[in-house]
Structure 1
Amino acid sequence: MSSFLGRLARAPDLGITFHAVNEQDSANYQCVLIRSTDGIQTFPEFGTVIKLVVFSPPEILHPSLGQIIFAKEKTEIKINCEVDGKPKPHVIWTKRNQIVSLNSTLQFAQFSKASDGQYICHATNPEGTVNRTIKLLTAESPRIKEKLVNTTVVEGSSVHWHCSVEALPTNITYKWIKDDQVLDFKDTDPKIHVYKNELHITSAKKEDSGWYTCEADNGFPPTVVDRAFLNLLYRPKATHAKIREYILPLNGNVTLVCEVEANPHFHSVQWTKDGRTWRTTSTNEVAIINASPAHNGLYTCQGFNLLGGGDVVEIVVTVTEPLAFSKKPPPTVIVELGESAEIECEGFGYPSPVQYWLRNNIRISSTFLELKNITASDGGLYQCVLANGNDILYQDVDLFIRNTTPQCPSKSQISCQGETGFNISFQPGFDGGYPQSFKFVLMPMETKIVIESEWITEIGSDYWYFIDTKLPFSIHELWLYTKNVKGTMECLLGTYHVCTKVMSPSLIELNSQNLVSWAAVKEADNYVVAFRIGEENEFFEVGKTNETEFRLRQLPNTTVSGLAIGVKALRKPFIDSDYTLYKTSNNEGKNRISIILVIFSILLVCILTYFCRTRRNHIDIKLSDPDPTIVDNEYFSTFQRPPAVDSQYSSWRTVGSDENTIIEGQFEHHGIEEFEHTSMVNEIFRKYYMHNPEYNKVNLIDELRLAKLKQEMCEATLQPIQM
């Protein structure tokens, strides 16, 4: 009600007056009278409903004043003049004082250039008239006024391109692209400036070479595209930042490559060696033949083209010389317990080698090995090493210490013997100056049983000893104890496993669902399934599993001669079992035998059928005989002849192998014979093909052949015999 504040007043005779009427005052109004007598109000009395309609002059909401609208030729155009007012204004369109539309929609089925011009929308109602003028123009797609030109400049120069395009409307947007990468004025290289249709490059470099594309679009396709190529000329530049190093052996050959590129291409390359002019070549390669120490040094190369000399590239050439000892240590050094020992080792070669000592794979960085106050633990093998990155040279030195416990063997060899034993060979270490004896100790990893040999005092010349652990599938730590009068030394020879072989799987089967199965092997962790064609070929592994079955991706072609599927058992690190074979050729042979038996049986049926028909032609068979004829032998199914009737057809019933199954129907007279022969053939196939205990299922092709053969034999037995 606040909208009426100050605008309403009472009028005579219960009237109401509106001041400053506006469109929002339009509504239904009703007078309600309530009388009051002595404070008591009567029921309301309702007057007539009065509808107030406020007229408003026309107002054009769209299009906007002075709007220019562009349209493509041969396109449909609709421009709606949206108006407001009460009552609803009447709208027309005019062009040059001629009416072109009698409603609010200005429409062109196919806009053309002739339709260009000013159009006026007129809106009229009783409150007045308003109009709105727009301009309608034909849109023109961008077109190139002046094409970009390929440009060639020297590195460091500036490049400027102006993409000259005209279009209508003229609100053209531009996109600059270099080698498929859009150039954005916000994040491009600082030396590349992009603004609308202008592209400027300052201090152009080699990497700025390439194709530049200008794309212009004003919203009316197609977009116009113009391209130009920037060709940068520059002096030879190195393509590799690091110094190249060539290392070759004495009397070796090598080709040095000056890794530079230039535009235009270089015409010559100047080479230096150790700062002095060496050679000038027309290519960037030079060869060194039969290299000698004189070829060692620092080489440089510099390419030249029409712009002058380019980057200088450095190359290091190293001709190696074999390593050799200038002071070679003796192979054996013997000292007394508590004494000191000094062992010198030096060598030479090119490049100059580094020299160090190795003791139990621990590096001692010194050319001079000095040991003071020697103890029993200092004894053993030392190695002098010369290394220069190209070659390495060793010299072994055995340090023997007298008047102490024996040393561990310097060399040992362990091999399997049978499935639970070891053959052990070793070269005894220094005895400390006293007779020594030996004992082998095996400590199984999975049990607490310790296996010990007797002490050995007499050592044969070959030093081979056999120990039977009697523990299949076992892993052992193998120790050698050696002792003399000064004490015992415990030497770990290593960790070894016996060479037990896993049992082969058994009862391998392959079913029609491509599933290979076998009996589990107790000791196995995994199984491998493989196949081969021919005994002379290797197995091809198709899968590994820890189950006792494996599904093949496709059923092998069992008709291939010599095809065998194999399964072997694994248990690491022990010896794999042999493959157990499932030979499809054996099954193929059995299948062939089964087929031959079936064919033989069918032939026998034909002979018997011929014999039976011949007899029927000479013997009067009384179908009305109350005693039915029973045929029962190994080739024919048991069946009962039906009684004869005078009609053209005879009803019949037969009891098959299932006594609960009864088949009824009608046949012509020869139908009895057909049933007999069909039953005979079926019985042969059931007996020699389906129920044969020697039967192995053949593949699909053989099954189809048997089915076809069965059909042909049935048809043959039903043919009438001409006598």
Structure 2
Amino acid sequence: MIWGVTHGQKPEVRAKVGGVVEMACRLPLPYTGASVPLHVVEWVRQGFDIPVLIKFGVYAPRVHPNYEGRVSLVRNTVLRVKGLLIEDQGLYECRILLLDKTTDETRNGTWTLLSVTAPPIFTKTPLPVMEALVGNPLSLACVAHGNPPPTITWAKDGTLIGGDKVAVLSGTLSLRAVDREAGGQYECLASNTEGNVTHVTKLKVKGPPVIVIPPKDTSLNMTQDAQLQCQAVADPPNMTYVWQREGENVYHIEALKSRVKIMVDGTLLITRITPDDSGNYTCMPTNGLLTPPTASANLTVRHPAQALLMPPQTYLPTGLGGLVSCLVRAQPPLLRVDWTKDGQPLDLFPGWTLTSEGSVFMATANDDATGVYTCTPYNSYGTMGQSGPTTVILQDPPSLSVCPRKEYRQEVGITLVIPCQTTGDPAPSITWSKVGPATRSQYSVAANGSLLLLPLSKDHQGEWECSVTNRVATVKASTLISVLGTSPHAATLVSVTPGAKQANVSWEPGFDGGYTQKFTVCGEKQEWLSVPVPSSSGSSLQVTGLVPATEYQFSVLPHNKVGTGPFSEIATIRTRSQYPLC
């Protein structure tokens, strides 16, 4: 028989984890005279199928495996639990079964709530030292048990963590993308009313080097030594420095490789600099991770003005303008250029001038121009000397022996040959090109310079240009090709003048393909509508029935008996308001 007594609200017993607790039985033992009847004491726990403890008479109690060695009965019915675990928390009930009754009589005991309080204990933490690659995501997870349930906070280098780059959810700290600043000491703190516990993780960020001292623009005099600084830090720190000039490794530049040295700290040393050393230098430290950074600076070598290599001959076009150039390198900038002709200081003939770059310009090249020239450039540092000589030679500009006609009108699909021929020694080169948008159709140039269109297509329509070039000049001749028997070409220069409920559309017709063409004006507000253009309207149309203060688009579509041409470009307008605001 089960005896039980109910006392309203469940009683509660509190104890700390690891401690000892006693839970009194709320059922009194029934006495009959001077002795206690034969009975069974049973302690059960809510949610457990097997009792925590069963005690029958003088026999040893039977104990649930989870409580082995930790529970006992004291004072006949009191359940004593030692070595409390946080998992012991729950509802317990005492039951007493009398064995000498002839009938079973069941009564429920009162449930006792055992609350086990415990300071936080970590069940999951990140490693004491972790490494992360720049740009990768990272999660640091802290899980702690305790009662009351602990709260978890994160700090970095002693400062509580927050902000857009970091998220903390359920004790896990997440970084969307690790950067250099993410490195440091992270502290996970779990706390409740019973205490707190901390765990520290040191995060090392691995990645490409970071340049801390970039090179600076530097100006030095010729023959001085140049030092371009470049210092970087990295983890891992096994860095090598690469220096480039204008994109080429300095050790691969013949005139430079014997005079350069890259120091341990990344500094580039160039000994006895020359004017050729001027340029843009780029430092690139690398440790093999991801994309290495770069930093650039310009090295300017100050030197007297220097005349560069002169061509042995300079050819000028007879009867046309010509230029005898003095190629100069000067830093500081050029001040003047002195010229000689045939060993004497140059006298400027009528029509001859010196340009700001120091070249000699001749408005009309004639026999006065022939001779041997030298130039000597100067800047504020002086000069590095006279140039080598160049001999000026007159040569006739190219001329056309056979020119194309001004216009060719030909049916589509046939072969069209347009002549463009020249004479000369050496023979000038001849090229053809279409003026304006390039043609999508094929064409070729014959050995004698003629343009071959085989077969003639609609896309060949338009102006073409023949260019004849020799070493002194280029002359050009143009022709217009009109391809007949095609659909019309697109209208151009579409213009729209809006009113409140109408718009005046005008355009420039394209080539008609050799047949009379008509037009359709297409307008769009929500869908395209077509309005045929009467022949009497020519190249304009008033479109009516529009909505005031509304945006419209217009395009013109040409067509003839062969077919429809392409749409013109779209013109967008907004109609005027019907009631203008004052």
| Fold match by TM threshold 0.5 | no
Task: Determine which structure has the larger helix proportion and give its number.
Answer: 1
For CA contacts below 8 A with separation 6 or more, give which structure has more relative contact order.
Answer: 2
Structure 1 length normalisation: TM-score?
A: 0.26
Larger radius of gyration: 1
Structure 2 length normalisation: TM-score?
A: 0.32
